[in-house]
Structure 1
């Protein structure tokens, strides 16, 4: 659609401001081609106004919903990957890592400097391991054990 045709449609629809409206009116008055195009568009607009829009029947929505309900729901595709491929890729990476580790050990020159480290490992365990700490540890283990037991039993019930 060219610009003059768009401007004429905007003029017919009343979407132009005053300055553009006056400019289009001058073009219509001065140019015979623009005037004939304007008249054709006016006739076309009258034809469009005279058309009755078809309305769907009252049960249209119900009919569409019933036809949608009859179509089976799409099932997610489950692709099966060959386990040999997975094992092959995993084996390649394991062999590559082992080869890299072997290369590093072969080329490393490991020399430890002599240092004198005196560590005092004599500390009082009774100070840190109190009956309250033992009870807290056992309580936490009991709670974790009960959570795992609950999950295990729920899986058993779901499988049945």
Structure 2
């Protein structure tokens, strides 16, 4: 009987944790890989890539293009974006990204993310107002980066509205106009 109790406990606790992440919406990768480099990127969101030593870096789309141009000669830009944005390949040092740009994630936020499901994670750090998630106030820059990273790997993007001074979560479908 004790053995069955332990098995049930392990199964229940495993179901409540963030074990799997969502791949970045392929429309984003496709549009970025075929984008015109002479115009500004239409993606005003931050992207995250893995660095060495378990660190991450927050980059914009032009920085990703620059890193690709410096390093990756054996794969397409689309493949590079797919691997790096989905955290399957780490990014090497370059003139655009060096070791000082890579940061460790906040341990407390990491622990909370790993021990709770995504919905509980969002409820801990965001308020849900009118079907929109707004980041609660009072976080340091490193905490915001960590929260943003865990949202990013679940295909949710933190966007800053500098007009009213708040961060909100946006979904991939919000980045593409309805046809």
Q: What's the TM-score bracket when you normalise by the shorter of the two chains?
A: under 0.3
* Larger relative contact order (Cα-Cα within 8 Å, sequence gap ≥ 6): 2
Q: Which has the larger radius of gyration?
A: 1
What TM-score results when the alignment is normalised by the length of structure 1?
Answer: 0.18
Kindly indicate which of the two structures has a greater share of residues assigned to helix: 1
